[in-house]
Amino acid sequence: MALELRQQLKLSQQLVMTPQLQQAIKLLQLSRLELVETVQQELMENPLLEETQFDDERPEPTIAEDSHAPDPTQEEGAMQRELMKTAEWDDYLGDFASTSRQATVREHETPEEGMSFEARLTAKPSLEGHLAWQISLSPLDARQQAIADEIVGNLDSGGYLRSSAEELAQVLAVTPEEVEVVIQVLQRLDPVGVAARSPQECLLVQLEVYGYTDPVLLEIVRDHLEDLEKKRYKPLAKKFRLSMEEVKEYLEIIQTLDPMPGSHFSSPDPVYVSPDAFVYKYGDDFVIVLNEDGLPKLQLSPYYMEDMGRSSANKEKEYLQDKMRSAQWLMKSLYQRQRTLFKVLESIVKFQREFFEDGVTRLRPLILKDVADDIGMHESTVSRITTSKYVATPHGIYELKFFFNSALELDDGSSVGSESVKAVIKQLISAEDPKKPTSDEQIAEILKQRLQVNIARRTVAKYRMAMGIESSSKRKDVL
C-alpha cells in the first residue's frame, strides 16, 4: 500500500481559552470580598486603570453683566478677615511659639491617635504561647522547662497530649518519671486539665483543683463516663444507691467541667458575610439591588490616554496599548459579572417567589438547569455565579446555592423542596417534649399527614444528621 501526501481544507469550531476569557470566568466565581481585592490589585498594577472620583461639581459663581464690579478695597478687607479666620498660626509661628506644635497636638490627641495602625492590632493568644508564658514564671528548673516545652509541642487543638511519657523521655534522653512530674505540673496550669491523656484524666484533674473530693463523683468520672454519655442513669443510681435527684446533682457538677481545655485557643475566627445583593419587597413585587458598596468604579486614565497619543516610542506605545486592552477587558468582565448576577437573582426570585413571601417552609425544588434555561445561559455559568455569593432577603441572608435543592414527591403528584422538609423537621424537634422526644418514624408519619410527602424514616434520619441534630434516644431527658 503506497503512502501519499494530500492537502485538505477543513472548517471547524473550537473554544480557545484566552487569558482574557480565563479572567472573566475567574471573576464569576469570586466572592464579593475577593472581587474587591482583585480590583484593587489591578489598580496597583495597571497604570491606565484608575478609580472614578465622585466630587460635588458646583458651578462657579458668575457676575451678571448688569451688575457693578466689586470695590477692590472691600474685597481686600473681606480677604483679610477670611485669612484671620482660617490662618494656621501654629504653622506660621513655628519655633517662635511659646509651646511646640507637637506638644499642642499631644494635648488634644487621644493616646490611640498618635499610634500607627499596626500598633493597634493585637494577635489572638495561642495555647502554646499561653502555656510558655506560665512555664517561664513557674519554679521549674532549666531541665524541666525543656521537658515542658517538648510536651507543649505535642498537644493537639483540644489540649490533649498525644505522646506517651516513654516516647517523650526517649526523645529528650530523660527518664519517664521526670516527664511524668512535669506533666503533673502542666495539668494544673491554666487551662486546668491541659496535657491530659484521656477525658477521664482531664476531668479528674479539674475536680482535684476545684476541691471536689466526693468518692462517688470521682468514681463516676473515672469509670462511668460512657454511661453518662448514653444517658444510662438508672443503672448508675442502682449501683451507687442514689436517687435520681442525686444523680442529677452529680451530673450538673460534671457539666461545669471542660473536657476540651485547649479548644478556646484554637477556635476559628468568625467569618463575616457581606451580601452581594439585597431583595426588598416593594408593594406586590420584589426589587433586586446589587451591593456595590466598596467596589471601585473604574475608568481609563485620561493622562495616560493622552500620553499614548503623543508617544513616539514603539515599545512604550505597545506597552500602553496592552495595558489599555487589559483595563477595558476587566471593566467589561466586571459589568458582565454584575449583569449575570442580576439575571440569575431575577430568575431565582421568579422561581422561589413563595419563599420570599412566606419563608423557608415554602421553598420549591429547583435545579441549575431551570435557571440556566430561563436566562439563556449554560449551567456551568450559573454554577460559577452562585458560588460564594450571598443575598439578603426579608427572611435572612442566604447563599445562592441554598435556593437549589432536590424534590420530594407529594401524594397529589406535585413536589416539595428538601430544604422545606428540613425546616419542618427542625420545627417539630424544637417543639417536642424533652422527656418524650419524637422519633424519626413518628416525624415521617407527621410529614405524611401534614405535607402529604412520601418520605422514609431513613431519609428523615439523613436530614436530621445533616442539620447536626442527635437521635431521639440522645435527646431524651431522663432526669
pLDDT tens readout for residues 121-138: 566 788 899 999 999 998
pLDDT for the residue 179:
93
Say which residue, 452 or 155, is predicted with more confidence.
155
Average pLDDT over residues 168-196: 93
pLDDT for the residue 105:
46
pLDDT for the residue 79:
52
Average pLDDT over residues 47-73: 55
pLDDT grade, residue 95 (50/70/90)? very low
SS3 162: coil
User: How far is residue 60's CA from residue 58's CA, in Å, rounded to a whole number?
Assistant: 6
Residue ranges, comma separated, of all CATH 1.10.10.60 domains in the chain are: 406-479
Average pLDDT over residues 414-424: 78
For 172-233, what is the HEC assignment?
Answer: HCCCHHHHHHHHHHHHCCCCCCCCECCHHHHHHHHHHHCCCCCHHHHHHHHHCHHHHHCCCH
Average pLDDT over residues 13-29: 75
pLDDT for the residue 99:
47
pLDDT for the residue 462:
87
Structural Rg of the chain based on CA atoms: 35
pLDDT for the residue 54:
57
Taking only the tens place, the pLDDT of each residue in 319-334 is: 888 888 888 888 898 8
User: How far is residue 192's CA from residue 199's CA, in Å, rounded to a whole number?
Assistant: 12
Average pLDDT over residues 160-168: 91
Of 42-56, 282-296, 405-419, which range is least confident?
405-419
Of 51-65, 267-281, 418-432, 440-454, which range is least confident?
51-65
User: How far is residue 438's CA from residue 428's CA, in Å, rounded to a whole number?
Assistant: 8
pLDDT grade, residue 67 (50/70/90)? very low
Bridge-based pairing of strands 285-290 and 298-300 is: unpaired
- Tell me how crowded residue 475 is: count the other CB atoms within 10 A of its CB: 15
Architecture of domain 127-266: Orthogonal Bundle (1.10)
pLDDT for the residue 312:
63
pLDDT grade, residue 98 (50/70/90)? very low
pLDDT for the residue 108:
47
User: How far is residue 158's CA from residue 124's CA, in Å, rounded to a whole number?
Assistant: 16
Average pLDDT over residues 176-197: 93
% of the chain exceeding 70 in pLDDT: 80
Average pLDDT over residues 243-267: 89
Q: Locate 330 and state its grid cell.
A: 476587566
**pTM summary value:** 0.62
pLDDT for the residue 371:
93
pLDDT for the residue 59:
45
Q: What is the largest CA-CA distance in the chain?
A: 110
Taking only the tens place, the pLDDT of each residue in 257-312 is: 999 998 888 766 677 788 999 999 988 899 999 988 878 888 888 887 777 767 66
Task: Give the residue from 213, 231, 141, 229 showing the smallest Cα distance to 181.
Answer: 141
Q: Which amino acid is at 14?
A: Q
pLDDT for the residue 56:
44
Taking only the tens place, the pLDDT of each residue in 327-354 is: 888 889 889 999 999 999 999 999 999 9
45-59, 346-360, 408-422, 461-475, range with greatest mean pLDDT:
346-360
pLDDT for the residue 16:
67
Class of domain 406-479: mainly alpha
Taking only the tens place, the pLDDT of each residue in 371-400 is: 999 999 999 889 999 988 999 999 999 999
Average pLDDT of the residues of the chain:
81
pLDDT grade, residue 202 (50/70/90)? very high
CA angle 64, 69, 74 (to 5 degrees): 130
φ, ψ of residue 405 to 5 degrees: the values are -145, 160
